[in-house]
Amino acid sequence: MSSHPKCSILCECMRKMCIMNVGLLIGIGIFCPLSFGQTTPPAWQEEIRRSVEKQDWDAAMRIADEQVALSPEDMDVRSWRARVLTWSGKLDQAEHEYLQIIAVVPNDPDDWMGLAAVYSRENRTQDALQALDRAVQLDSKRADLHLARGRALRAVNERAQAKAEFEEALVLDPRDQEARSGIASLRSESRHQLLLETNTDLFSFAGANQEQGATLISRWTNYWETVFGGSFYRWAGVDAQKLNASVTGKLPRWGSLTLGGAVAHDSGVIPENEAFFGYDHGWRFGHAGIWRGLEANYEQHWYWYSTARILTLNQTVIAYFPRDWTWSLRVTGARSQFPGTGAEWRPAGLSKIGFPIKRFETRQLSGNIFFATGTENYSQVDQIGRFSSHTYGGGMRFQLAAAQDVNGFAGYQQRNDGRSEMSFGFAYGIRF
């Protein structure tokens, strides 16, 4: 039975209208997510970004705090506050903020990566790796998460795993230059460091004293390190030279032991021979509290001059605090013996505070101040015998690049009998 022509025409029109309506709905479904994805960030986020670019941390924190006060339950807002705390170096507060966020929203990989960044800044590499493991588990298709994990693995010298992470990031994003650079950096690890230094001493009672030296530090494995160096002295118009060498064995749980010595063409102003050994061990504490770590070093050093014998016992303790602050204390007992006289012990001490000054993307400027009392330097003949002194000084270190840095220091020493000494020096280091 055939249908009526008018009915056929009506059915065809209705069919076309349905197709158009379905297409319109599909178009709306596709367009809406794109539209939402292209919305501009809120104004307060842009204000934070501008403040961060200027390193105006107070302004950035004020904006973040205002938004948290308006929406205390919004974890995205809290995440921005945690980022600002991290960027401004307030790592304790940043860690606390991230842990509170993760307790509420445990499945956001960005928060875990942010927490890992805090741990990395605190040199808590294992904690950073655990946080990144969780982030990768939550979203294994993000190249930036694999990159971050590759950097953390490279920091603990897990080269094979780090390479695998960089390669995975490159698979996910073939245009990622950082992933390529990460793979290239693992092909040739810097195992050697060359230090070039020069020091000058100006005396109120004698001519200037100058020293130049070069030192090669080689880390052959994670367990063995050697040091070879040479120094050239000119003291009161007299020239002298010295060669020194040492070897260090390291075990992660037991610390490191160093054995070394030196020989010299002394010209009567520096030791003819030297021998020393030292033991160093460090402890890392939990992230809570002001103490982050402690390092202790003991060194016993013999100096054989043409006219004197010196033995020094040196004990150094270094305390590590948040935000790269350090405090070190060194106590020295020196036993001096001259021909025809008995042995005599004399004490000396030095205290030094290290602190950060400014951090850049790949560079860092840090400084230190120190105070010393007693005879502190037994490598030159003018620093032994019967005199007392107080020394005040400071220094700065600028990291030019990942493999280069420059150090400088200056000090003023006030001795008894109205004598004084001013010292300054520079050192350049490069790793290859």
Model pLDDT for residues 137-166, shown as the tens digit of each residue: 999 999 999 999 998 888 877 888 998 999
Mean pLDDT, range 210-230, rounded to an integer: 95
Which residues are paired to 326 by β-bridges?
320, 354
Considering Cα of 100, then 103, then 108, then 113, what sign does the dihedral take?
positive
Helix (H) or strand (E) holding 406: strand 404-415
Mean pLDDT, range 82-94, rounded to an integer: 90
Alpha-carbon gap, residue 162 to 169, rounded angstroms? 11
E-strand ranges in 252-363 read: 255-265, 273-284, 293-304, 309-320, 326-337, 344-359
Mean pLDDT, range 314-328, rounded to an integer: 93
Residue 348 makes CB contacts below 8 A (sequence gap 6+) with 331, 332, 333, 334, 372, 373, 374, 375, 376
Other beta carbons less than 10 A from residue 308's beta carbon? 17
What is the structure's pLDDT at 375? 72
What residue ranges do the domains of the chain occupy? 47-185, 192-431
Query: Which three-class secondary structure state does DSSP give residue 263?
Result: strand
By the 8 A CB rule, do 225 and 247 touch? yes
Which pair of tokens denotes residue 396? 């700065």
The candidate with the shortest Cα–Cα distance to 133, out of 156, 149, 151, is 149
Which pair of tokens denotes residue 371? 């105070």
CATH architecture of 192-431: Beta Barrel (2.40)
The candidate with the shortest Cα–Cα distance to 318, out of 351, 287, 289, is 351
Residue 317 makes CB contacts below 8 A (sequence gap 6+) with 294, 295, 296, 297, 328, 329, 330
The candidate with the shortest Cα–Cα distance to 131, out of 148, 144, 143, 147, is 148
What percentage of the chain reaches a pLDDT higher than 90?
Answer: 53
The candidate with the shortest Cα–Cα distance to 219, out of 177, 257, 190, 240, is 190
Of 88-97, 176-185, 333-342, highest mean pLDDT: 88-97
411 has pLDDT over 90: yes
Alpha-carbon gap, residue 3 to 169, rounded angstroms? 63
By the 8 A CB rule, do 31 and 54 touch? no
Measure the N-to-C terminal CA separation of the chain; round to a whole number of Å.
Answer: 92
Q: What is the CA radius of gyration of the chain?
A: 32
23 has pLDDT over 80: no
Q: What is the DSSP letter of 383?
A: G
Please give the full DSSP string across 20-62, using - where no structure is assigned: HHHHHHHHHHHHHHHHHHTPPPPHHHHHHHHHHHTT-HHHHHH
What is the structure's pLDDT at 45? 86
- The CATH number of the structural domain formed by 47-185 is 1.25.40.10
Helix (H) or strand (E) holding 228: strand 224-235
Question: Angle formed by the axes of helices 177-185 and 159-172, to 10°?
Answer: 160
Tell me the backbone φ, ψ of residue 64, rounded to 5 degrees. -65, -40
**Measured at the alpha carbon of residue 140, what is the angle toward residues 136 and 141, in degrees to the nearest 5?**
135
308 has pLDDT over 80: yes
Mean pLDDT, range 206-210, rounded to an integer: 89
